[in-house]
Amino acid sequence: MKTAFITGITGQDGAYLAKLLLDKGYEVHGGVRRISQPDRVRLEQLGIAQRIHFHDFDLTEPNGIFRVIRQVEMDEFYNLAAQSFVGTSWELPVYTAQADGLAVVQILDALRTLRPETRFYQASTSEMFGLVQEVPQRETTRLYPRSPYGVAKVYGHYITMNYRESFNMHASSGILFNHESPLRGKEFVTRKITLALAALAHGGSEPVVLGNLDARRDWGFAGDYVEGMWRMLQQDVADDYVLATGVTTTIRDFVRYAAEALDMDPVFDGEGTSETATDRKSGKKILEVSEKFFRPAEVDLLIGDPAKAREKLGWEPKVSVGALAQMMARADYDGLK
């Protein structure tokens, strides 16, 4: 039986990855930070909370990182914990740098010292491509981050490569494009949309208020992406891989897909902050735009090329963006019943 340690186990990806590894027969350990009201709701939703060995863990506490790596005899270490919300990274830039950048080298260095044979996965991100220098984006595309989050993740990405090259560690970095699910955090745009539309479908009257509707994202299903993470650590040689669908969609079109899944017929009207959407069937206003949700610098277009992952890992995304929007909208509708 293999043993895995997952940081960020209470997050969206941590929960799906823990379920995948338990199903494969792993002993799963997870790092959780101290909060006033412990919340393991995603792990409970997947029915696995009781099967996980929890450890106190905070990305900003190097001694704790060192101790947990000494205590747990792990074969694989998945570093999924992060300050993961791009918008907040402009408000908490130093904390984001510590959690998403410096903590990565603290983990790698503790592994190098205590368990150099442990296989390591770093959660890198398409946000590192930022102002994209090539379309579609692949492993070799030049990085141009556009947020403090993206900048911190670039450090995590390069230090992972550096420890692999310097110390021959099995350290891989997954450059993952946006992936969503019914377990997605409520502030991310997809879940914000599906939750608000589900409430409207139940008779509510509050439109969803969004920012930039023209941004494009390459959205996949988180359940597919954690399978790719695991496959990276099963390779003989560590490497970096893009996981993406190769399809890009505007925020506006994601709203359309989600609304249609809830039997609405959205009609968009106006421009900029005056744009609205109305459901032709009920006549209800379902969307407004506010300056409040625009970002100081935007990533306008993301579209990934997952050819290397397909070829080397045999990895394929299985859920289209339309099916994803439907899955999330229906789950939120049922959840609000």
Q: Which amino acids are annotated catalytic?
A: 125, 127, 149
What are the angstrom distances between the C-alpha of 19 and each of 56, 119, 187, 207?
20, 19, 24, 35
Interatomic CA distance for residues 154 and 148, integer angstroms = 10
Q: Which is nearer to ligand GDD, 72 or 175 (CB)?
A: 175
SS3 271: coil
The site for ligand NAP (CB under 6 A) is made up of 8, 10-14, 33, 35, 57-60, 80-84, 99, 123, 125, 176, 178-179, 185
| Contact yes or no for 188/146 (Cβ under 8 A) | no
* 245 touching ligand GDD, by CB under 6 A: no
Nearest distance from C-beta of residue 30 to ligand NAP, angstroms:
8
- Which SS3 state, helix, strand or coil, does residue 99 take? helix
Select the residue interacting with ligand GDD from 39, 44, 187, 269 (CB under 6 A).
187
Please select the residue that binds ligand GDD; options are 122, 172, 178, 326, rule is CB under 6 A: 178
Min separation Cβ 295 and ligand GDD, Å: 5
Q: Of the listed pieces 98-106, 269-277, 279-287, 290-298, which binds ligand GDD according to CB under 6 A?
A: 290-298
Instruction: Write phi, then psi, for 235 (nearest 5 degrees).
Output: -75, 150
Which does residue 240 touch among ligand NAP, ligand GDD, none (CB within 5 to 8 A, set by kind)? none
6 touches ligand GDD by CB under 6 A: no
Q: Is 90 exposed, middle or buried (0-12, 13-18, 19+ CB in 10 A)?
A: middle
Report phi then psi at 177, rounded to 5: -80, 170
Indicate which single residue of 18, 28, 210, 247 sits in contact with ligand GDD (rule: CB under 6 A): 210
Q: Taking CB under 6 A as the rule, does residue 126 contact ligand GDD?
A: yes
User: What are 314's two structure tokens?
Assistant: 């045999």
